[in-house]
Chains A and B, each alone.
Chain A
Amino acid sequence: MFNLFERRLAPLDSPSVVIASTLGSIVLALAIGAFLFIPFGTNPLLAYFSLFESSLGSLRGFGMTLNRAAPLILVALGTCVAWRAGFGFLGFEGCMTIGAAAAAWFALVGVSEDGQGILLPALLFWPAMLAVAFAAGGIWAGSVGVLRTRYGGNEVLISLMMNYVAIFLVQYLVSGPMRASGSLPQTDRFPTESWLATIIPGTRAHAGILIAVGAAFLVWLLISRMRVGFELVVTGLSPLAARYSGIDVGRRYLLAAVGAGGLGALAGLVEVLGTQHRLMDGLSGGLGFIGIVVALLAKLNPLLIVPVALLYAALSVGADALQRSTGVPSSIIFILQSLIVLFVMASDFIRYWRPRLPRFGAAIVQEER
């Protein structure tokens, strides 16, 4: 049965083949997903149309897509920084939560006593806000880096477990020290000055996407243009060779951990200052893991992460709309998303192997004679 496919003499790796195989995978996933609509008596084509119509077809929907994409981009960028350096970090849920808590704290204390204006002038407030959140996430994830480099701890397990620590810590904060008066475990609403500004009038699109795209550019600069980024990549590809060439491997892991944690925290900041405007329990909603999937789909390429995250966000915004309008459960869209991930990942196979058809076999023999 292994004879159904044979290894290509050289893998197909031209950009057009990669794009074609990716698009082909998406179309295939949508085609298979179409069967899921049949029991609901919905026309799949119409469903798909309204799916993209609602998320990309209107300004309002597009704004929502942008908002959904921003934290995904940031988490995916964090994944890119950590994983390219060989640091198997999975703690983005935790970093988002911690970043959100730090941003909430700064938004609340950055306001003068009477709650009227911001203590710092706006020009200083935003850089300081970003720095505070980034630092909080950086320290949170950096501690995993220290455990790894100093004591040889397993960063995959530790970062995964620390997600729960972060989530319970925020539960504690919103039900204790930072709790607003009222029955719900949440903080006060932040002063409007600390909300992320709306960038497209008439929509909810906020400045989070600008932070995310800016970060994508910086991460791209780091990975492909800067010395330290090159050292990160070498460390990730071969720690032995990195050590041999004089790179301090431990410090690079630490740097990757801090960078990844900081980016994850910015995702938390974007969620809390852009959408929710107050800190409450359960804010990340799995974005910390979906972001990793986005990064993998984008093959850990910082610039590719932006369009992939937008597609992913569009699908989930569309899914919500679809559920509201037709009553089709949004879980169908989650199945679709999974199929897309699966097929895109599997599509590499045809770049390395080709179906073994009789005429191909004949061609080889002729070539050799």
Chain B
Amino acid sequence: MLPAVELRGIVKRFANVLANDHASLSVLPGEVHALLGENGAGKSTLMQVLYGSYHADGGEILLDGSPVHFANQRAAIHAGIGMIHQDFMLVRPFTVAENVVLGLDGELQLYEEKRGILDLAGASRRIEELSTHHGLQVDAGARIEHLPVGVQQRVEILKLLYRNARILILDEPTAVLTPQETAKLLETLRSLAAEGRSIIIVTHKLHEIIEVADRVTIMRDGKTVATVAKEDTTEAELARLMVGRDVLLRVRKSPLKRGATLLTTQGLKVNDDRGEEAVSGIDLSVNAGEIVGIAGVDGNGQSQLVEALAGLRPVMGGQISMEGTDITHGTPACRKACGIAYVPADRRGVGSVGTLSIEDNSVLCNLGAFTGKFGVFRDRARSRSHARDLVARFGVKAPDIRFPAGKLSGGNLQKMILGREIMQQPKLLIVEQPTRGLDVGAIEGVWAELLKVRDSGQGILLVSAELEEIRNLADRILVIFEGRFMGELRPEDADDETIGLMMAGRSGKTRTMTHV
């Protein structure tokens, strides 16, 4: 069969990296093809080349066997290629119909006689048709900002179908979905493929590939290292191809040794940036020696909860205490003094200062410990040796400690931030989305470090949208939905269905554990 799309020997060079090094990919009509690779392997770049956002420095693109050249995205869209980015490209105050027709040319519009006049009613009718036909329930008149993330993604898919895209590219489509939404999406993708469309999923999640893809192309260091059929491979083999060595995706935990209570909150209420209540009365406790996992779909108040705990967001009601001391309204510095360390989800915007060196970043949260006698002048000799220790102990890959932190890869930056906080020897470590966007190798390292912290008798509060991570690390799992805990689970009880229902707001069979 003639491939619907073929990329041959694509070369794309950026400032000092070769993002695509003779990468090749061929996707058949009616196929779901997964593009798998670690972060920075060049997956997104390759897709941007196909979508016309980047111009390749070498190689060629063939559609149905004939070479094409896309000057820009518009040309690619015109040729039947559609892309859904990881961050949705939707105008939030607009309705579904308005978003779908946005950017359409007159020639693509359905009602020729109304050219020049925005025919939203006609567009809505066609959207309804498409959505019933493909089983994508969407109200064409709803505003995007009122829709859940899963539905917003359907709008993105409808946008492509409205333009009659034959080749659909989805970049990390399941990052923000609940397990149920993910299952629904994968089902939709299969049915679209059955119509003869080609689907390319860019991802680093192995189990999804096993579930939905026909074939997998693995990228590593800008090269396409292999294309394999799903039947002929295993999760372990894919992981090895992706990382280039064997990886362990299950962790071994030592038995739980729960110590004294560290952090407790009572009826905690916190607002979001718009002043609406994001955390509505949360009771929580974390003991020494345990990992408490908070699972939930992004945007259900977990970020606000963690920021309140770290002192970065004012508490509107309730109480926070650490080892019996009330710290409800303490500053971030006061939290640190109490032994609370925090690894934020936003590594580049909050957790580090990109233009400063690794050395400067390594002392960022603990400046007082790196000054001379009177606390006025910085003690650079000490901070340099501290940074060297940090880099060596946590395996941060960098040319030297003067290297700007912002130029580190996501995984190395996270190792630096995590290492910095661990080296302060906090009593309680709060980590938020610690492995978001990290590749398998780096995830392994972060998990091992967190377990070491737990085993040394420190407490950890882990907030993560990755179920695998929560299940592997946590000793207790709390599921958050719209600012409230839906219940508490033991990791062994937290199967996809139970936890998924709770993440979607239905309190499933909840089993509360008795504390020692």
Contact = CB atoms under 8 A, between A and B. Distances in A.
A244 B16 contact: no
B281 interface: no
Interface in A335-366: 364-365
A234 B15 contact: no
B350 interface: yes
B331 A246 contact: yes
A246 B332 contact: yes
A368 interface: yes
A34 to B, nearest CB: 38
Interface stretch (A6-14, A25-33, A186-194): A6-14
Given A226-B378, A230-B378, A231-B367, A244 B57 contact: no
A225 interface: yes
A245 B331 contact: no
Interface stretch (B23-31, B213-221, B369-377, B386-394): B369-377
A241 B378 contact: no
Contacts of B368: 227
Interface residues of A, number: 25
Chain A contact residues, majority secondary structure:
helix
Contacts of A231: 367
Interface string B180-210: 0000000000000000000000000000000
A227 B367 contact: yes
A240 B349 contact: yes
B225 interface: no
B479 interface: no
Contact of B16 (A10, A240, A241, A364): A10
Interface in A224-273: 225-228, 230-231, 233-234, 237-238, 240-241, 243-248
Given A234-B356, A245-B364, A240 B57 contact: no
Given A227-B371, A244-B344, A368-B11, A238 B331 contact: no
A92 B28 CA distance: 67
Nearest to B355: A237
B439 interface: no
B377 A241 contact: no
Interface string B12-34: 01011010000000000000000
Contacts of A368: 11, 13, 18, 57-58
Given A227-B376, A227-B378, A243 B353 contact: no
Contacts of A247: 333, 367
B360 interface: yes
A245 to B, nearest CB: 4
A364 B378 contact: no
Most B Cβ at <10 Å: residue of A7, A238, A246:
A246
A95 to B, nearest CB: 26
Contacts of B43: none
B342 to A, nearest CB: 7
Contacts, number: 79
A246 B378 contact: no
A4 to B, nearest CB: 16
Nearest to A235: B353
Contacts of B350: 238, 240-241, 244
Q: Which of B355, B364, B365 has the most CB of A within 10 A?
A: B364
Contacts of A246: 331-333, 336, 365, 367
Contacts of A225: 377-378
B352 A241 contact: yes
B127 to A, nearest CB: 37
A241 B352 CA distance: 6
A290 B378 CA distance: 33
B480 interface: no
Contacts of B90: none
- Interface size, B (range): 20 to 34
B100 to A, nearest CB: 32
A256 to B, nearest CB: 17
B16 A9 contact: yes
Nearest to B352: A241
B410 interface: no
Contacts of A10: 15-16
Nearest to B334: A246
Contact of B377 (A8, A227, A240, A365): A227
Contacts of B13: 9, 364, 368
Contacts of B351: 241, 244
A240 B376 CA distance: 23
User: Which of B349, B352, B365, B367 counts the most A-chain CB atoms under 10 A from its CB?
Assistant: B367
A322 B352 CA distance: 52
B364 A234 contact: yes
B149 interface: no
A225 B383 CA distance: 12
A355 to B, nearest CB: 17
Contact of A238 (B332, B333, B336, B349): B349
Nearest to A234: B353
Given A10-B16, A234-B364, A238-B353, A243 B376 contact: no
B355 A227 contact: no
A233 B376 CA distance: 15
A230 B353 contact: no
B151 interface: no
A245 B18 CA distance: 35
Contacts of B331: 246, 248
A253 B195 CA distance: 61
A134 to B, nearest CB: 19
A11 to B, nearest CB: 8
A248 B330 CA distance: 12
Contacts of A237: 353-356
Contacts of A245: 332, 364-365, 367
B241 interface: no
Contacts of A238: 349-350, 353-354
A240 B312 CA distance: 9
A244 B367 contact: no
A205 to B, nearest CB: 33
A243 B349 contact: no
Contacts of B376: 226-228
B212 to A, nearest CB: 35
A147 to B, nearest CB: 21
Contacts of A226: 376-378
B310 interface: yes
Contacts of B332: 243-246
Interface string B338-364: 000010101001111111100010001
Among B349, B350, B351, B353, the one with the most A-chain Cβ atoms within 10 Å of its Cβ is B353
Interface string A149-183: 00000000000000000000000000000000000
A255 B336 CA distance: 23
B355 A244 contact: no
B312 A244 contact: yes
B15 A227 contact: no
B513 to A, nearest CB: 33
Contacts of B355: 237
A232 to B, nearest CB: 12
Interface of A: 7-10, 225-228, 230-231, 233-234, 237-238, 240-241, 243-248, 364-365, 368
Given A244-B350, A247-B333, 4 more contacts: A9-B13, A227-B377, A234-B353, A237-B355
28 contacts: A8-B15, A9-B16, A10-B16, A226-B377, A227-B378, A231-B367, A233-B356, A234-B360, A237-B355, A238-B349, A238-B353, A240-B346, A240-B349, A243-B332, A244-B312, A244-B332, A244-B342, A244-B365, A245-B332, A245-B365, A245-B367, A246-B333, A246-B365, A247-B367, A364-B13, A364-B57, A365-B57, A365-B58
Nearest 10 pairs between A and B by C-beta? Answer: A246-B333, A245-B364, A245-B365, A246-B332, A240-B350, A237-B353, A238-B353, A244-B350, A241-B353, A227-B371
Interface of B: 11, 13, 15-16, 18, 57-58, 310, 312, 331-333, 336, 342, 344, 346, 349-356, 360, 364-365, 367-368, 371, 375-378
